[in-house]
Amino acid sequence: MQFNSKEDIEAPIERVFAAVTDFESFERAALRRGAEVHRTDNLKTLGVGCTWDARFEMRGRRRDVGIAVSEFDPPNGYKIAFKAQGLEGAMVIELVALSKNRTRLAISMELQPKTLSARLLVQSLKLAKTNLTKRFQLRVADFARDMEDRLRGTA
């Protein structure tokens, strides 16, 4: 199952890349939503090998997720792989410079079930795919708008 979204941002690609690799702010946002997030690597810089363990409640059950940066190509983007009880996936963030001060952000996420219970979960998500796709695209649009506002405010 795959979700895709693209947004254009009024900012140079280097500044957008810095914003989408601000993993500490993503950790804080997850903590505010009730998740537990712990960085598990000892790397001093961002790149391949950065890892996190996350724990949160979803549909009445506790979910444990392992997250790792599997590709890192500044300033063009990166790929994050994740694993959770029988479910694997990846999120790809791609940046393309449209002009000196305009960048296209493309985010895609793919889920792959590896167990029967994960297949049932993904099947139930497929029934609501239209609604989930719309919500995913709205979240990406909100994220892009917030990022653009933050970057404009620091100019």
CATH code assigned at 123? 3.30.530.20
User: Looking at the DSSP assignment, which residues form a beta bridge with residue 6?
Assistant: 106
Q: What local confidence, expressed as pLDDT, does residue 66 receive?
A: 97
Sheet holding 61-73, edge to edge: 2-9, 102-113, 87-99, 77-84, 61-73, 51-58, 36-39
Number of domains in the chain: 1
Q: Tell me the average pLDDT of the chain.
A: 94
Structural domain harbouring 71:
2-153
Assess contact for 69 and 52: CB atoms under 8 A: no
The 8-class DSSP code of residue 100 comes to T
Rounded mean pLDDT of 82-87?
Answer: 94
**Confidence band for 61, pLDDT divided at 50, 70 and 90:** confident
Q: What is the pTM of this model?
A: 0.90
